[in-house]
Amino acid sequence: MKDKINKLLSAIQEISINTTAELDEFRLKYLSKKGEINNLFNDFRNVSAEERKEVGQLINNLKQLAQDKFTTVKESLLYAQAVDVTEDYTKSSEPLNTGSRHPISQTRREIVEIFSRMGFTVAEGPEIEDDWHVFSGLNFPEEHPARDMQDTFFINKSPDILLRTHTSSVQVRTMEKNQPPIRQIFPGRVFRNEAISARSHCIFHQIEGLYIDKDVSFADLKQTLLIFAKEFFGPDTSIRLRPSFFPFTEPSAEMDVSCSICGGKGCNVCKYTGFLEILGCGMVDPNVLEASNIDSKQYTGFAFGMGIERITMLKYQIKDIRYFFENDIRFLKQFSKF
Ligand code: PHE
């Protein structure tokens, strides 16, 4: 009897069950009413009284083993049916076409990041402005040509409501609300009533910088812009300041960077000058400080403004400003960082 039990035990342990048909076979053979284990219980009647306890336990163990094997295999077969285990479910179903930041946004972020390392914080102002913040508060004379209908999109005439033509308007808003020290940059969209061509657009982006404190000098302006140019265009970049004019700065300058294409030797991108013009800047005119109630005897400051499209075009050698507004995937894809 014991021999029979042990044989059945090892048979059950060794049997391998891979399909539901095999599982059913197993159940019929061992666990059904007429199965081998139940038959053992019939034989049990003939076991001598001394052996009963031991044999009874052996049969119970055997039954338990068969039952356990049946449920374990049943569960794993059910699971395999529910999920096709030959598939890798961690794989994505399709190669995903993810979007990326627009090159203008990338450049703006890069510029903001460089200036924030120099202690500048970011502020923004409205795109629809009044005459005061775009012109009068910035020391534009009454008859200045920049107020002309040809440059400015007017929404309303007297009182003048217009689309800002430069981000310098945010300078005025900041100075109205804060006393120095002020160290901020103002990125934003600007609008000019100009014909659209490869080089100019009626909508573009600028980033403006303003630093006002005691003893701010032209040397501070120059050093700040040199650091920016090296960070943005590369460590070998040099700068050149040329005298210029803006109503709101005195003295004023335009800044060129050495041409990153030819390294300053002269090529068709820099028109054989070795330099590329990138921004306007200067010391904030005392009239501008006073117009916003900042004491020009105590404080001085510098300001600068640059076109984001322009420096993106220079950095990546983009020949036409209109690409930025067309949203052609083939163009945008080239700036994808993924
Ligand atoms: N606002 C000027 C422009 O749009 C740029 C500028 C900003 C110049 C600040 C000097 C100081 O051209």
Given the structure tokens 């960070």, which residue do they identify?
A: 231
Same domain, 112 and 32: no
Ligand 1: nearest atom to the Cα of 168:
1
Domain ends where: 29, 53, 82? 82
Rounded distance from Cα 242 to ligand 1 centre (Å): 14
Same domain as 118, residue 72: no
In the sheet with 161-163, reading across from the earlier edge strand, the strands are 128-130, 161-163, 154-156
Q: For residues 6 and 231, what is the distance between their CA atoms, to the nearest angstrom?
A: 82
Instruction: State percent of the chain over pLDDT 90.
Output: 62
Judge if 72 and 154 occupy the same domain: no
As a whole number of angstroms, the distance between CA 9 and CA 7 comes to: 5
Regarding the beta carbon of 302 and ligand 1, being less than 6 Å apart is answered no
pLDDT at site 81: 78
Residue 338 has pLDDT above 70, yes or no: no
Q: Looking at 49, 82, 115, which one is the last position of a domain?
A: 82
**Which residue has the least CA distance to atom 10 on ligand 1?**
281
Q: Kindly state whether residues 47 and 127 are assigned to the same domain.
A: no
Do 14 and 125 belong to one domain? no
Looking at the CA of residue 209, tell me the nearest atom of ligand 1. 9
Q: For 44-53, 86-95, 259-268, 277-286, which range has the lowest pLDDT when averaged over its residues?
A: 86-95
Same domain for 75 and 156? no
Neighbour-count burial of 151, counting CB atoms closer than 10 A to its CB (0-12 exposed, 13-18 middle, 19+ buried): middle
* Cα angle: 171, vertex 174, 179; to 5 degrees: 120
| Residue 62 · residue 43 · CB < 8 Å | no
Q: What is the average pLDDT value for the chain, to the nearest integer?
A: 91
Same domain? 43 vs 129: no
User: Looking at residues 108-123, what average pLDDT do you find?
Assistant: 97
pLDDT in tens, 168-227: 999 999 999 999 999 999 999 999 999 999 989 999 999 999 999 999 999 999 999 999
The enclosing domain of 228 has a CATH number of 3.30.930.10
The number of distinct structural domains making up the chain is 2
Residue nearest to atom 9 of ligand 1 (CA): 304
Please identify, by atom number, the ligand 1 atom nearest to the C-alpha of residue 280: 8
216 CA from centroid of ligand 1 (Å):
18
Q: Looking at the predicted structure, is the pLDDT value of residue 84 above 70?
A: no
| Together in a domain, 30 and 128 | no
Give residue for tokens 């800002």.
164
Same domain, 227 and 276: yes
Q: Is residue 88 part of a domain?
A: no
Evaluate whether residue 237 is within a structural domain: yes
Q: Does some domain include residue 97?
A: no
Neighbours of 153 (CB within 10 A): 15
- Predicted TM-score (pTM) of the model is 0.72
Q: Which residues, 6+ apart, have CB-to-CB distance to 125 below 8 Å?
A: 133, 164, 167, 169, 170, 173, 186, 188
Task: Report pLDDT digits (tens) over 291-312.
Answer: 999 999 999 999 999 999 999 9
Residues 192 and 316 occupy one common structural domain? yes
In this predicted structure, the answer to whether residue 92 has a pLDDT above a threshold of 80 is: no
Which domain range does residue 36 map to?
Answer: 2-82
**Domain end among 51, 82, 113:** 82
What is the maximal distance between C-alpha atoms in the chain?
A: 126
CB distance 155 to 200 below 8 Å: no
User: From the alpha carbon of 165, which atom of ligand 1 is closest?
Assistant: 4
- Kindly indicate the confidence band of residue 261, based on its pLDDT and cuts at 50, 70 and 90: confident
Tell me the mean pLDDT in the region 275-279: 94
- Strands in 300-307's sheet, in edge-to-edge order, are 121-122, 182-191, 203-213, 300-307, 275-284, 249-258, 239-246
